Amino acid sequence: MSSSQSMLSRRDLIKRFGAAAVAGTGLFGFSNQAWSSKSAHIVIVGGGIGGAATAKYLRLAHGKVRITLVEPNPEYTFCPGSNEVFNGHETLENLTFNYDTMRQRYGVNVIQDKAVAIDYAKRQLRLGSGENVSYDKLVVSTGPDFIYDAVEGYSAAHAAGDLPHAWKAGAQTAKLKAQLDAMPQGGVFVMSSPDGAYRCPPAPYERVSMIADQLSRTNPTAKLIILDSKNRYTFQEHYEHYWTERYGFGTENEVISWVAEKDGGRAVKLDARNKTLITASGEKIKADVINIIPPHKASKFAIDAGLAQGQRWVDFEAKTFKSLVDPNVYVIGDMVNAPMSKTGMIASNQAKVVVESIVADLEGREPGTPFIANNCVAIISDDYGMTIADTHRFAGDRYLVQQRISEVTDNPYVRHIRADLAKNWQRTFRKEIFH
């Protein structure tokens, strides 16, 4: 970007770039790819994994489309890896990326603002500032929002204050980490793990494991309790196997306790003043640190814009990820009603399907058949990791899932190498999205 362009105000940029639908040439370092005023304008809402992957892969596929990314935050912090902040093996700084590479390498016009509404008829996106950005295609990847009142008394204000859910990595993660570090010797940590679909199915159990690893060194008499709103969870056999070995799981002296929904594990009410969670069976559990992970739903933006059509999640056309509300709008990521885990890798691969849909539309041809893979690695400790491999084969109006989960093992090599693979995956994935 030349200095004169970087001096433009955001308002000027919108005028020149989006709202007026007048394309500049040579904007944002793309002097070699002269955009004509007829170049399609693709606007992406949400600069997380799904949105960033859409912008990057769209530019990889197409040199001439104009790409605008609307994101309220100047930086994005990855959730994958953020559980390891709790045992000091990862830093938030290492997980945080700005949008400079998006701008410079991929020629993306990044607008730091909130999207507030879609005018489907005019094909305009309204921003928090009141400006309207015209689009030819709109991609919405605004992630999940939280159903705070699933636990009565819990709220967004609590989450932003002294009771962080830390389910979007960033300041809340740091706050929860600080609370855990300051926990008195022999203190109690309680987590409420949600039911329904939530992002990264094994993550609550990974988080507890990372906290237990840290506390084993700094606060070995502390106690961790998971109050669960469900009866089964991903990698359960692995977690229980390892917790039994290391934390006496299943004994009188267990460090980590897991209470299934059927055993009264569902947390239904928070007494914030007394730092107490109350379960469905009426048990009161007082804790030094409380981490409520609320159930999820589609983002407020997706719901407000009518994309969810009154449902909890957003439906889409299987082949293209086009919204059922409007064929010029695409929907991906944790907010969609897909038979897929809500993971970053899924969002990134859905983005590639959307890119193919958009490019096919621009070229006036039928889009290729989608294929979506999800290969996740979770850890219990530095010395125990496990993998899950899902593939989603397109079959007309649905996707067919094939899944394999790695076996529980006592082979120390396999355990160590899988754990290292998790770090390996995280590093590679961060580059895949933001480099």
- Sequence-separated (6 or more) residues with CB below 8 Å from residue 101: 434, 435
Give me the phi and psi of 264, to 5 degrees please: 90, 25
Binding to another protein (CB under 8 A): which residues in 11-50? 29-33
3-state secondary structure of 423: helix
Does 146 help bind another protein (rule: CB under 8 A)? no
The tokens of 11 are what? 């308002």
Among 47, 81, 107, 164, binds another protein (CB under 8 A): 107
Among 136, 240, 271, 283, binds another protein (CB under 8 A): 283
CB atoms within 10 A of CB 90: 21
Q: Which of these ranges, 71-79, 267-275, 322-330, 337-345, lies near another protein under the rule CB under 8 A?
A: 337-345
Binding to another protein (CB under 8 A): which residues in 116-135? none
With respect to another protein, which residue has the nearer C-beta, 82 or 134? 82
Number of residues forming the site for another protein (CB under 8 A) = 129
Among 3, 4, 6, 251, binds another protein (CB under 8 A): 251
Contact 139, 51 (CB under 8 A): yes
With respect to another protein, which residue has the nearer C-beta, 52 or 125? 52
Does 427 help bind another protein (rule: CB under 8 A)? yes
Q: How many helices (H) and strands (E) does the chain have?
A: 11, 22
Least distance (Å) between residue 121 CB and another protein:
29
Among 40, 180, 211, 259, binds another protein (CB under 8 A): 259
CA trace torsion 170, 176, 180, 184 (10° rounding): 150
* Contact pattern for another protein over residues 399 through 418, marking x by CB under 8 A: xxxxxxxx----xxxx-xxx
Does 137 help bind another protein (rule: CB under 8 A)? no
3-state secondary structure of 384: strand
Does 337 help bind another protein (rule: CB under 8 A)? yes
Question: Which residue, 144, 124, 162, is CA-closest to 287?
Answer: 162
Binding to another protein (CB under 8 A): which residues in 362-381? 363, 367-373, 375, 377, 381
Among 99, 135, 301, 429, binds another protein (CB under 8 A): 429
Does 193 help bind another protein (rule: CB under 8 A)? no
Among 156, 248, 274, 324, binds another protein (CB under 8 A): 248
Among 16, 175, 230, 300, binds another protein (CB under 8 A): 230
Query: What is the maximum alpha-carbon separation in the chain?
Result: 71
Q: Can you tell me the distance from the alpha carbon of 170 to that of 90, in angstroms, rounded to the nearest whole number?
A: 13
How far is Cα of residue 157 from the mean position of the Cα atoms in its chain?
A: 21
Least distance (Å) between residue 333 CB and another protein:
12
The tokens of 272 are what? 């914030």
Does 275 help bind another protein (rule: CB under 8 A)? no
The tokens of 253 are what? 């002296």
Query: What does R_g of the chain's alpha carbons equal in angstroms?
Result: 23
